[in-house]
Amino acid sequence: MSFDSLGLSAELLRAIAEQGYTSPTPVQTRAIPAILAGHDLMAGAQTGTGKTAAFTLPMLHKLMGDAPQGRQRRVRALVLTPTRELAAQVHESVRTYGRHLPLRCAEVYGGVNILPQIRALRSGVDVLVATPGRLQDHLTRRTVDLSSVDILVLDEADRMLDMGFLPAIERILGVLPATRQTLFFSATFGGNVRKLAEKLLNKPQVIEVARANAVADAVSQSAYFVDTDRKRELLAHLIGKEQWSQVLVFTRTKYGADRLAKQLGHHGIECDAIHGDKSQGQRNRALAAFKRQTVQALIATDVAARGLDIDQLPHVVNFDLPTNPEDYVHRIGRTGRAGNKGAATSLVSAEERGQFAAIKRLVKTDIPAIVMEGFEPVQQSSRPRPTNNRRRPGGGGNGPNNGNGARRHARPAQGQGRPQTSRRPRGAQTS
Ligand code: AMP
């Protein structure tokens, strides 16, 4: 299958060729003709599947027909995304794929000065990419007019609901024309997501490109059993020994992200942290340095990393396992994209064994767990964590003694007799 047969204009095909894409991904093959034919869409597609181009390309094709000029331009396509980073990336995709078209795109998201956004909106745009909260601000200030929107895209709708954006979305829907094309993208279609989709969509075409919670085959998954207070050393060791040049590391809390960035710095690893307490400028700079590979390790919380698109990212590390097993799928979806190989490594403490088992059940894969020589765990998993530990005290986990294929090295465990306390910060805010 080639892009030529999908019905896209010559300008778009040229931009696609300049990107080096030779054939459409499965979601593109199915979504592009459906969108061009004017259907609403309910698409189960995660990041990494090529979903951004799947809606951006036909959207641009449809807009270019009768693009008005200058201030006569009106917002005719609106893309809602959960995070600033994803908004910035969709905006970048619109610019990339629309480079040979006379269309203007603006992005609006929170955490940055609103005035340049107001100026951009006033000068006339065809495509607006926005996070719901900031767009709601613009509606209140009457600095945006959405009465001409023909195409509405909800990107990562499940995340928008998770993040509490439903009231903002409903306010936005209230000012959109009732007759429009709506494209609904979500990795999952649980209760509230499905309800919203059913309310918004008119006889949609349904596209499911990968089983929800499926992990790309291109990602090899592994895990190390290690004590909480030795994770940092093990990570520094892995980065050095394996010569990881670009690794995205997930922590559970903003505090944990900052602390780990500082500690890895002491090991001579260039790193930076991104999370909700960092300004947009700081986040953009950290991401840019990471993409250039002047920063080797980027430490991130789930929300901050949502939707990050880093070309050919080779490594993702779960320094802390996510509380919600589905976040594991989202996290490791940062790597192994668009035909590239990727590796996802999880550092699993005794108290996270229950979460690890839940993740394995979700992804239906027996992720091999390794004990690294010199980092043998001495903590026992018998003490249940006060929260988020589904493991029963005293057994039932997937530890090295449970016959799940984990190797235990013969060397005596180091650090025997150290106080077996977890240094996990309690009560720190997640981002
Ligand atoms: P997305 O799922 O939209 O986050 O896209 C994931 C990655 O796939 C991005 O880096 C895109 O540039 C890339 N991509 C999208 N479509 C194609 C394609 N047809 N061939 C190769 N790479 C693609």
What is 219-412's CATH number, 3.90.1150.10, 3.40.50.300, 3.20.20.140, 3.30.230.10?
3.40.50.300
pLDDT for 71 equals: 52
Of 274 and 41, the one with more pLDDT:
41
Residue 127 has pLDDT above 80, yes or no: yes
pLDDT for 214 equals: 54
pLDDT for 68 equals: 63
Q: How far apart are CA 156 and CA 160, in angstroms?
A: 7
Pair 185, 156: CB distance under 8 Å: yes
Q: How far apart are CA 222 and CA 217, in angstroms?
A: 13
Across the beta sheet with 342-348, the strand order is 271-274, 297-300, 247-250, 315-318, 342-348, 219-225, 369-370
pLDDT averaged over every residue in the chain:
82
pLDDT for 34 equals: 96
pLDDT for 212 equals: 44
pLDDT for 216 equals: 62
Ligand 1 pocket test: which of 6, 16, 52 has the largest number of ligand atoms within 8 Å of its C-beta?
52
Ligand 1 pocket test: which of 5, 6, 25 has the largest number of ligand atoms within 8 Å of its C-beta?
25
- What proportion of the chain, given as a percentage, has pLDDT over 70? 82
pTM of the model: 0.59
Ligand 1 pocket test: which of 8, 186, 309 has the largest number of ligand atoms within 8 Å of its C-beta?
309
Of 430 and 49, the one with more pLDDT:
49
Domain with CATH 3.40.50.300 in the chain: 3-208, 219-412
Residue ranges around ligand 1 (CB below 6 Å): 21, 24-25, 28, 47-53, 309, 311, 337-338
Q: What is the pLDDT of residues 150-209, one digit of tens each?
A: 999 999 999 899 889 999 999 999 999 999 999 999 988 878 898 999 999 999 999 987
pLDDT band at 314 (very low <50, low <70, confident <90, very high): confident
Of 378 and 75, the one with more pLDDT:
75
Pair 81, 129: CB distance under 8 Å: yes
Assigned architecture for domain 3-208: 3-Layer(aba) Sandwich (3.40)
Q: How far apart are CA 346 and CA 332, in angstroms?
A: 10
Residue nearest to atom 18 of ligand 1 (CA): 21
Comparing 45-54, 234-243, 326-335, the range with the smallest average pLDDT is 326-335
Residue 85 has pLDDT above 90, yes or no: no
d(CA 247, ligand 1 centre) in Å: 20
Across the beta sheet with 77-80, the strand order is 105-108, 127-130, 77-80, 151-154, 181-186, 41-44, 205-208
* Cβ count near 131 (within 10 Å): 24
